Amino acid sequence: MKFLILLIAFAAVLIPTADAVRIVDDYGITVSKKCLTMIKNNMTSDCPTYEQILELFPDTSPRQYIGDFKIIDNLVQREPMKLKIDNCWHFLNSLAWTQSKTVWIDPPGCMQPYMKMITIESNFNEYPIAGITSHMTNNTILMGNERYVNSGCTESIINAKNWLFLTGDMLRLMNHDCDPAFTSFDHIKKFYFEKSNQDIATSNKHKLDEFFKNAKEKYKVSHIGSNDVNENKSIIEDEDE
Residue 78: its H or E element:
strand 75-78
Closest among 147, 159, 121, 117 to 35, alpha carbons compared: 121
pLDDT given for residue 12 in this prediction: 39
pLDDT tens digits for range 4-16:
433 333 333 333 3
Looking at per-residue confidence, does 28 or 192 come out higher?
A: 28
Q: How many CB atoms lie within 10 A of CB 12?
A: 16
Residue 78 in this model has a pLDDT that exceeds 80: yes
Closest among 54, 117, 110, 53 to 81, alpha carbons compared: 110
Looking at per-residue confidence, does 241 or 173 come out higher?
A: 173
pLDDT tens digits for range 33-73:
999 999 999 999 999 999 999 999 999 988 888 889 999 88
Residue 141 in this model has a pLDDT that exceeds 90: no
pLDDT tens digits for range 87-129:
777 777 777 656 678 899 999 888 898 899 999 999 999 888 8
Provide Rg for the chain, Cα atoms.
32
pTM to 2 decimal places: 0.69
Q: Average of pLDDT values for 77-96?
A: 77
Domain range annotation of the chain = 15-192, 201-238
